[in-house]
Chain A
Amino acid sequence: MIILLLLCWVGLAVAGAPGGPPRPDRVIMPPQTYAPRAYDSGRLDVPEGAKMVWVILDRTKFMNQNARVRVTIEAQVGGQWFVIKRTGQTRGGAIVRPDKSPQTESVTFVSLPTGTDLVRTTVEVSQSAGTFGVVVRFTP
């Protein structure tokens, strides 16, 4: 079996803070550009006040049941990169939740260590997964 390993760097521009005073928590800051495929690469500046980074896969377009996807999140602290989170593998295709509703997203998130300057997110795909979206977002 030929396994294609795609290292997909998700580099999404981080815009300015949303208008108006944000709530002290829960506000997604700021809205991120939606990527139709996980293929990009980049280092993300950490918005001021951000304490957590999220990676969200849109499962509604993640059609290949044979595909396996793993997410790795790295942080740069004091000029050095290190892995702060590495997920297990999720598979493509539909997932039905215990309440019988479809699971539309696969979500993973982690705190940013104190002093994190940059974040790098990698999505590994075992084989062509079809089109699926990836969103990276920061929260306070």
Chain B
Amino acid sequence: MMTCVLLFISLLVSSIAHAAVTVDAVMVSGGSGDFGDDSFTHMVATDANFLAVCTTTHGGSGDNNTIDGVTSNGNGLTPLVAAQSLGSLGFAHLWYQLAPSVGANDIVVDVAADPWYVNVAISFKGVVQSAPTNTQSAEGGGDVLELTITSDTDELVLDCMHIATGGGEDPIASPGSGQAQQWDAGHDTLWTVGSTMDGASPSATPDWTFGFGSTYWSHVAVSLEPMSVMGRRRVPVIWR
């Protein structure tokens, strides 16, 4: 009897479809720190429901590489995960906002002092409307990269990396297998790359290789859960 009940519940639950998480739009903005805060426009589609902003900084004086906050149309984004490179030379931060405004979003990145920066706004569709729980960060130097993030097969992993190149060289970063590169931009000693990839159970490993050796890097990632068609948080794995 109990087996039948469990089977019935399983069938019922599995019939709830889950929308795939997809990328809506990507906007990259950057510059030298002497310009102060960074302000740019990111267009959000009507059916997009999640906004992530990756801020990367480098070349400031020590802690002056920090970002004091990010807003979209005046509303503050929530810090999600951050990584700081060796020697505090640079940072990578991820921030997010649920249900961003449709249309033009005025993104303002509050730069603490004088770092050079590259900031990326990326909006998504089909993300469950609750705070992401699976995040990860890593810091290192040279060509050895390793970041493993808890995920699942119906999720989408976003990763963002700050790369210090020393003399302004292009690190020629290439994403690993299964990663869709979403941006690759930089100037002076700061470069940043980012990608999305399908999640995997129990974890995913966004990875990059450099054609030109970097010095230091910091890497952050988040795994985005899909929302069900009914708009609810998906059910635990055991029932699917």
In the bound assembly, the distance between CA atoms of A82 and B61 in angstroms comes to: 35
Q: Among B32, B40, B116, B184, which residue has its beta carbon within 8 angstroms of that of A85?
A: B40
Q: Is the CB of A86 within 8 A of B185?
A: no
Q: Is the CB of A98 within 8 A of B61?
A: yes
B43 contacts across to A, CB distance below 8 A: 113
Q: Is the CB of B35 within 8 A of A90?
A: yes
In the assembled complex, the CB of B45 is this many whole angstroms from the nearest CB of chain A, namely 11
A95 contacts across to B, CB distance below 8 A: 34
Interface residues of B in 27-51 (CB under 8 A from A): 27-32, 34-41, 43
What band does the interface of chain B fall in when counting residues whose beta carbon is under 8 Å from A?
A: 20 to 34
In the complex with contacts A26-B170, A82-B104, A85-B40, A90-B34 CB distance below 8 A: yes
In the bound assembly, the distance between CA atoms of A100 and B3 in angstroms comes to: 73
Q: Among A26, A82, A86, A107, which residue has its beta carbon within 8 angstroms of that of B188?
A: A107
Q: Is the CB of B26 within 8 A of A111?
A: yes
B114 contacts across to A, CB distance below 8 A: 98
What band does the interface of chain A fall in when counting residues whose beta carbon is under 8 Å from B?
A: 20 to 34
Task: Give the interface of B toward A (CB within 8 A).
Answer: 25-32, 34-41, 43, 59-62, 104, 114, 116, 170, 184-185, 187-188
Q: Is the CB of A83 within 8 A of B41?
A: yes
B27 contacts across to A, CB distance below 8 A: 110-111, 113
Q: Is A131 an interface residue (CB 8 A)?
A: no
In the assembled complex, the CB of B3 is this many whole angstroms from the nearest CB of chain A, namely 53
A114 contacts across to B, CB distance below 8 A: 25
Interface residues of A in 56-83 (CB under 8 A from B): 71, 82-83
In the assembled complex, the CB of B51 is this many whole angstroms from the nearest CB of chain A, namely 15
Q: Is the CB of B36 within 8 A of A52?
A: no
Q: Among B25, B35, B62, B184, which residue has its beta carbon within 8 angstroms of that of A25?
A: B184
Closest chain B residue, CB of each to CB of A110 = B29
A105 contacts across to B, CB distance below 8 A: 32
In the assembled complex, the CB of B93 is this many whole angstroms from the nearest CB of chain A, namely 19
Q: Is the CB of A87 within 8 A of B35?
A: yes
